[in-house]
Chains A and B, each alone.
Chain A
Amino acid sequence: MTADLMLPRAFRITKVRRELADTFTLVLAPDDDGPVPPFQPGQFNMLYVPGVGEVPISISGDPAQPETLIHTTRAVGAVTKAMWSLKAGQSIGVRGPFGSSWPVEAALGDDVVIVAGGIGLAPLRPLIHAVMARRAEFGKVLILYGARTPDDILFDKQVRDWRGRFDLSVHVTVDRATGTWSGNVGVVTKLIKRGGFDPHHTTAYVCGPEVMMRYAADALVAKGVASTNIWLSMERNMKCAIGFCGHCQWGGRFVCKDGPVFNHAAVADLLPLTDF
């Protein structure tokens, strides 16, 4: 039976972090002080604001520390706006974790290219944690991150920390330069074109707006990365997260249980059909 998966469990907000003008992070702990289920990088939870509604949000914390449940999201809809106004000490409902995950094992021995666009860095952060936890088992590790403006760089302190590491190449680009920004200006696909990895031995993980993922995957393929070595995370309307409500169907796939992480080769034909 799946009764437990259909009932939200109350989690207390232990910390609220305002990340960007409209983006925030909630750190959660169960009200009942019971164990927090482990999660795989790329999986999501359904977060419920009592009486308001429920939305799927990727987990953005470290999979090695599942007891610290972290979600980063943007206040864009009724539910996330209600969530934005919550404070530490208040509780929300959590169901999950659900869905497929970034296959870390697929990259063993390969170069790892992580391509993020905008808030797409949040669902990729658990993967970055997982890769860095066993850094020696991979070749080069690159994070290529495109943001809207320098003020929209998510987890900027952590991004700076990553940049300071010698075993990790981090390249950030912005669509529009503002202020004293002296870094890259241009789209994230340009960072892919510049390379710095061995395309024939690379596994790539891409997350961002669908258009960005489509072109990023094309750029990776043009560079010589096999389509089967590219992974994407899709976004669709979801009500149940367990394949009953039908909302997240994408052709024969349920994004909630067959995804959200898909292999590019399996979905490349569908990607340009943007109203399917």
Chain B
Amino acid sequence: MVNVEGLDTLLHSHPFFQGMDEGMLEFIAGCAANERFEAGDMVFREGGPADKFYVVRHGIIAVEVGVPGRGKATLQTLHEDDVLGWSWLVPPYRWTFDARAATLTRVISLDAVCLRAKMAENHEMAYHLLMRFTAVMAERLHAARMQMLDLYAPGGGPEGDRGP
């Protein structure tokens, strides 16, 4: 099932890994696997061990949080080329939200236990991975702040009526 060479090619062409050197990619490919989720399948649950992260190849994953009395609230949706999960980088390595496939979704999963061990001894590789995750985090934080602004709320300064 797992074709290391095929994954190597996939990772090479993926924007997240762009510019990483061959040796590192080869190692990362060794920690990678193809996975597939049907619509509605849970990818991971809040509180579960964060021992992987995912690169979306196709489909939509919803990051959700359960709110008592309101069911599940979707915080964001992730799509082709997006990266899912960074709790694997932060002790105690537990997922902080739920992730669920909203449609049939294909991902590459990366074994975090294997990566964490490698990063502890290979700081060069750790640097390259962390730089990439920092960019993802910055984008998510920016988006979260924009959502927090509630720009389209009444009085939030919508377009259309240009006067009092």
Q: A176 to chain B: which residues have CB within 8 Å?
A: 73, 147
Residues of B within 8 A of A208 (CB): 151-152, 158-159
Residues of B within 8 Å of A54, CB to CB, are 163
**Prevailing SS type, chain B contact patch:** loop
0/1 per residue, B145-164, Cβ < 8 Å to A? 01101111111111111111
User: In the bound complex, do residue B74 and residue A185 qualify as a contact, i.e. CB atoms below 8 Å apart?
Assistant: yes
Do A181 and B74 touch (CB < 8 A)? Answer: yes
Query: Which chain B positions have C-beta within 8 A of A122?
Result: 159-160
Task: List A residues 57-78 near B (Cβ within 8 Å).
Answer: 57-58, 72-74, 76-78
Measured between C-beta atoms, what is the minimum distance from B84 to chain A in Å? Answer: 13
Q: Which residues of chain B are near A215, meaning CB under 8 Å?
A: 142, 146
Whether A187 touches B143, Cβ cut-off 8 Å, given contacts A74-B154, A120-B158, is: yes
Residues of B within 8 A of A (CB): 60, 62, 73-77, 79-81, 102, 139, 142-143, 146-147, 149-164
A residues whose Cβ falls under 8 Å from a Cβ of B: 22, 44, 53-58, 72-74, 76-80, 117-120, 122-123, 146-148, 152, 173, 175-177, 181-187, 189-190, 193-194, 207-212, 215, 233, 235-238, 260
For the complex, what is the distance from the CA of A122 to the CA of B152, rounded to whole Å? 13
Cross-interface CB contact of A118 among B73, B79, B158, cutoff 8 Å? B158
> In the bound complex, how far is the Cα of B159 from the Cα of A77, in angstroms?
13
Tell me which residues across on chain B come within 8 A of A233, comparing CB atoms. 159
The residue on A at minimum CB distance from B155 is: A76
Known: A182-B102, A185-B75. A123 touches B160 (CB 8 A): yes
Query: Shortest CB–CB separation between residue A73 and chain B, in angstroms?
Result: 5
A186-B76 in contact given A76-B158, A176-B147, A211-B149 (Cβ < 8 Å): yes
Residues of B within 8 A of A118 (CB): 151-152, 158-159
Consensus secondary structure, chain A interface: mixed
* Cβ–Cβ contact A55 & B143, under 8 A: no
Q: List 8 A-B contacts (CB under 8 A).
A: A76-B155, A118-B159, A122-B159, A208-B151, A208-B152, A209-B152, A211-B157, A237-B163
Tell whether, in the assembled complex, residue B159 and residue A209 are in contact, meaning their CB atoms are under 8 Å apart.
yes
Bound CA–CA A260/B162 (angstroms)? 10
User: Roughly how many angstroms separate A209 CA and B149 CA in the complex, as a whole number?
Assistant: 11
What residue in chain A is nearest B157 (Cβ atoms)?
A209
Give the 10 A-B CB pairs with smallest separation, nearest first. A118-B152, A55-B163, A177-B74, A56-B162, A148-B152, A77-B164, A120-B159, A119-B160, A186-B76, A209-B151
Q: A147-B152, A209-B152 given as contacts; is B162 within 8 A of A74 (CB)?
A: no
The answer to whether B160 and A175 touch across the interface, beta carbons within 8 angstroms, is no
CB contact under 8 A between A79 and B164, given known A184-B77, A185-B77? yes
